[in-house]
Amino acid sequence: MASSDGHRSALLTAGGILSIVVGVFEVILGVIMAGLVISAVVQGGVVALPGWLLPRGLVEIFVGLTPTWLRISGSIVLGVVAIAGGISALRRKSYGLSLAGAICALVLGFAGILAVIFVVLGKREFDRVRG
C-alpha cells in the first residue's frame, strides 16, 4: 500500500529547490545590475540597464517607473527571501517563510508558480514536523 507521504515530501523538496534556484538567479541579476550601474558611474556615462535583464513587456513598465537603486535592491532582497524560504522548505521549519520565499520566486514566472504550488501542496509536512 503506497501512501502519498513520499509524494508530498518530494513536492515540498522540489518547491524548496525551485525557490533556492530562482533566488540565486535573482541575486545574480541584482549584482549584475549593480555592476553595470557602478561601471556607468565610474565611466561618467548614463545609467541604463539593458533589456535582456527583464522579460519582454515588463521592460517598459519596470524600467520606466522605478528608480535604478530600487530595482537593484529589490532583486537582491527578493532573491535572499526566496533562498531563505527554500531552505526553510527543505528543513520543514516555517511554512510562512517557505511560502513567502516561493512568492518572491514568482518574479521569474513559471518556476515561481511551480514553487508556490509545491509549497502549498506540502503544507502538511510542516504540521507533521511540529506536532
The Cα 81–Cα 106 span in angstroms is 12
Residue 5 counted as domain residue = no
What's the pLDDT score for residue 9?
82
Residue 32 counted as domain residue = yes
Question: CB count, 10 Å around CB of 11?
Answer: 20
Which has the closest alpha carbon to 103: 91, 118, 90?
A: 118
Residue 131 counted as domain residue = no
The Cα 50–Cα 122 span in angstroms is 38
The Cα 63–Cα 91 span in angstroms is 36
Is it the case that residue 3 has pLDDT exceeding 50? no
Which cell is 88 given? 526553510
Q: Give the total number of structural domains in the chain.
A: 1
Domain that includes residue 58, residue range: 13-38+53-123
What's the pLDDT score for residue 109?
83
* Whole-structure pTM value: 0.77
Residue 91 counted as domain residue = yes
Determine contact, residues 89/15, Cβ cutoff 8 Å. Answer: yes
Residue 43 counted as domain residue = no
How many helices (H) and strands (E) the chain has is answered by 6, 0
What's the pLDDT score for residue 67?
75
Q: What would the pLDDT profile of 21-68 be if each residue is shown by its tens digit? A: 999 999 999 998 888 877 777 776 555 555 555 555 555 555 555 677
